[in-house]
Structure formats: C-alpha cells, structure tokens
Copies of this chain bind each other. A is one copy, B any other.
C-alpha cells in the first residue's frame, strides 16, 4: 500500500496520527516547511533532519520552470534530486499561476500563463499539472484546482467551485492512467532515460524549461563511474518499495460561503482519494472567517483520512487549526519572516534588527532548545542581520523552523496525553510582541 493514515489518539476534534508514504513516515499533526525550489532557503538538508523535519513542500510551478520536470524525472524524482530521502508533497502549481504570473487566462481547459522569470508562455491543465507532479515524484500530490480570488461574489465562488470539481475529476482520471510513471515506481533505481513516459510527452508541448538556461540541452543521464558518485546516488534512496505510487489529494473550495464550503466538501469526497485539503483560505480574509470556513467544511471530510489546510499559519493559529481537526499545514511564514529578521519566540514576535538587541547576550528565546539559541546571542544575530549577512538568513530560519516544529511536537504530545484543551488555553494571542 502506497499511502496510509493511522490515527493514534483523539482529543476533542484534534487528532494525533501518522502518514505512511513511500519515502517514510510523517507524524501528525504536522507543519510542512516550504522548500519552493527543492531547497528550504539557506538550510542544508542535514540541518532539516536535525530539526526533525519529516516532510517538505515543493512547488510544482517553480520546479517546472527550473530545473524542469524532465531533469528531475531523469534524476529519479525530487527526493533523490535534492538528496532528501524523506516524504515530499507538491502543490499543483495552480496557486502560483494565479499569484505570480502577470498575464494569465483561465478557460475550461486550464490556465495559460507567462513565466515570471522570462515571460515565456505555458499552459497548466489538470492533466499537465498532474503529469508534472508525477514526473517530479513527490509522495503526496495535489489536484489542480482554481484558488478562488478574494473577495468573490457568491455566484463567482460557486462557478469557481464547480470548475474545481470538474478539474478534480480530470486530475484523478489522468492520475489513475499515469501514476505508474512516477520515477521511483521500480523501487528507486535510476530512471532509464531511453524510456520517455507518455506523461513527459504530455508536458513537452508546454515545457519550455529546456530553453530556460539558454544552452541547456536535454542531456541524457550521465553515469558517474566513481565510487563517490555511486555513493552519492545510491545512499540517497534507502529503498522505496517497488510498485508504489503517489497519493493524490483533492481540494475543497467555496470562497467565503459556508454553504458552498459544505457542498464543495461533500462533492469532493464523493471522489475517493486518500486525503483532502481545504484551499482558498488565508487569502486576505479576516481570521475569524478562516476559522468559520474550516468549521463549515470539516464535518464533511472523512474522519479516517488526513485533512490538509493549505497555506497557514502563524504559530498560534496552527494550534487552533489542529483543534478544528486539521492534520497537515504548510506556510512560508516561518522561513520568509526569518529572512526578514522577524523571529517567533515563546515570548512573542521579535524584530532582530531592533537597536535594543545590539548588546543583548541572551539567546533569541530562553526557552528554545534549537542550536541557534544554544550558541548565538541576540547581539550577534542582530549584527548579522543589520550587515545583510547570509548567515543571518540561515540562522534565523533554523530558529523559526525549530519554533514551529517544537510547537507541533508539543501539540501532538498534548493530544496523546488527552491534555490538548489545556495546551490550547495557554496559547498566547497572536498579536503580542516579545518584551
């Protein structure tokens, strides 16, 4: 079985569980750091492992543009490409197409867009978005949906929701027909470059990534005969069981209308999939509305399957979403905020460039056990940030990820112990800053 979700404990609506994927196990509830271009910016993979990261999110839109799906496929899939022998989830590309591309045109077929990098023209359809995700080879992949803009009138939200449902069916049909083309279907051995999958053909009409680098031709996989080369390749895959495939999740939409959210959830789960996500939230709506939309959809998502709330949240909000029954979340906030000098601590948010830290010998967070707080002072981190040093972004990111992951660990522990309500009551409101 390629994918399984096992619930170990419940506390109220919260659940503690495990996802079993081809590349490993993920304890839930889980916060997935975003590694957009197959890298969590500035943080090496061994540091991610030290932090206890179990699953990363990669963006299909960005990887499709560079290095291109065919390159990742030829190198055995994104886990092997980025030397991350652990689970990975890819989004479908739909959100970035809407948020990053200047010119885009949506039709029933899909979305025509221009690359934000070089203006080249591309098309994402449910079929090509699934094809791309198959080629990239993440363990969990997402249906191609339309992330309804906000605000949206009811009629518009309904129209968008309906198209997402039609696109979900096309996503699943394509997936079922092509899922065996995932690069590690044969158990993680090198992809044979002489076999171009039909999925690759589906992409090639639109995949201009080969031209992106100018002189970069589609180069056949090179065998490196050195021991070290083999070592570098072979130790990355501990052994994906042959015959496994990816797990495709569906996405609930419905704008900011509880009844549409409910209907979207009901109709999405009519299509049998291993997991379901709630999309189209945290797009500018007031936070109470986010919680309301999650509550509207949640009762209609299967209790025995993972629920993934996309694109959230702050360290306090992620705890509240778990209380609503969410098992998986992702957000650029901890990593992006870190690169901008905003650090999350047990005492609230902290802006490291503030002058008051110039001679502060203490760690970012006295209660944090991460390696950054165990070694570096606020004064030093402030100096690094104010001097625009690379290390500032690296260390800030390590701390913020540690904070999020530690929060999730403590949430999970509380659920296992039946103490989640107590834990929740101790979560400070999100707007307070550190003293």
A residues with a Cβ closer than 8 A to B are 37-46, 66-67, 71, 74-75, 81-83, 190, 213-217, 219-224, 226-229, 231-233, 236, 355-356, 358-363, 365-368, 371, 373-377, 379-380, 382-384, 386-387, 389-391, 393-395
Closest residue of B by beta carbon distance from A213: B355
Provide a sorted-by-A list of 5 A–B residue pairs whose CB atoms are within 8 angstroms: A81-B379, A228-B374, A229-B361, A232-B362, A233-B362
Q: Which residue of B lies closest to A371 (CB)?
A: B46
Could you tell me the distance between the alpha carbons of A5 and B416 in the complex, rounded to whole angstroms? 59
Scoring A219, A362, A368, A376 by chain B CB atoms within 10 A of each residue's CB, the highest score goes to: A362
A375 CB → nearest B CB, Å: 5
| Cβ-defined contact, B66 with A228, below 8 A | no
Residues on B with beta carbons closer than 8 Å to the beta carbon of A366: 224, 226-229
Whether A393 touches B391, Cβ cut-off 8 Å, given contacts A222-B362, A361-B75, A363-B232, is no
Q: Are B380 and A82 in contact (CB under 8 A)?
A: yes
- Least Cβ distance of A196 to chain B in Å? 14
Q: How many copies does the complex hold?
A: 2
- The answer for the CA separation of A81 and B380 in the assembled complex, in Å, is 6
Q: Contacts A42-B390, A83-B375 given; 12 further ones with Cβ under 8 A?
A: A67-B358, A71-B358, A75-B359, A83-B376, A83-B377, A222-B361, A222-B362, A228-B366, A232-B373, A232-B377, A233-B361, A236-B375
| Residues of chain B lying within 8 A (CB to CB) of residue A45 | 375
In whole angstroms, what is the CA distance A71 to B355 when docked? 12
- Chain B residues whose CB sits within 8 angstroms of the CB of A214 once the complex forms: 355
* B217 adjacent to A355 (CB under 8 Å): yes
Whether B216 lies near A355 (C-beta < 8 A) is yes
Contact B71 A362 (CB under 8 A): no
Q: Are B82 and A231 in contact (CB under 8 A)?
A: no
A236 to chain B, nearest CB (A): 8
Name which of A67, A356, A393 has the most chain B CB atoms within 10 A of its CB.
Answer: A67
CB distance from A94 to the nearest CB of B (A): 21
Is B222 a contact of A383 with CB atoms below 8 Å?
no
Q: Which of B75, B224, B375, B386 contacts A67 (CB 8 A)?
A: B386
Residues from chain B with Cβ under 8 Å of A371 in the complex: 46
Residues of B within 8 A of A227 (CB): 366
Residues of chain B within 8 A of A361, CB atoms compared: 75, 190, 221-224, 229, 232-233
In the complex, A289 Cα to B75 Cα: how many Å? 48
Q: A37 CA to B384 CA in the complex, in Å?
A: 8
Chain B residue numbers with a CB within 8 Å of A375 are 45-46, 83, 232, 236
Query: Closest approach, in angstroms, between the C-beta of A223 and any C-beta of chain B?
Result: 8
| A362-B226 contact given A355-B215, A387-B66, CB 8 Å threshold | yes
Known A-B contacts A75-B379, A376-B83, A377-B232; A37 and B362 likewise in contact (beta carbons under 8 Å): no
Residues of B within 8 A of A223 (CB): 361
- Give the distance in Å from the alpha carbon of A377 to the alpha carbon of B83 in the complex: 8
Min CB distance A229 to B, Å, is 4
- Alpha-carbon gap, A216 to B376, bound state (A): 20
Q: Which residue of B lies closest to A373 (CB)?
A: B228
- Chain B nearest CB: distance from A192 CB in Å? 13
The 7 closest A-B pairs by CB, nearest first: A224-B362, A226-B366, A229-B362, A42-B390, A216-B355, A228-B366, A67-B383
The answer, among B67, B226, B233, B376, for a CB contact under 8 Å with A232, is B376
Residues of B within 8 A of A387 (CB): 37, 66-67
A357 to chain B, nearest CB (A): 9
A213 touches B386 (CB 8 A): yes
Task: Given A231-B374, A233-B377, answer yes or no on A391-B359 (Cβ-Cβ < 8 Å).
Answer: no
> Do A393 and B390 form a contact, CB below 8 Å, given A222-B359, A226-B362, A363-B228?
yes
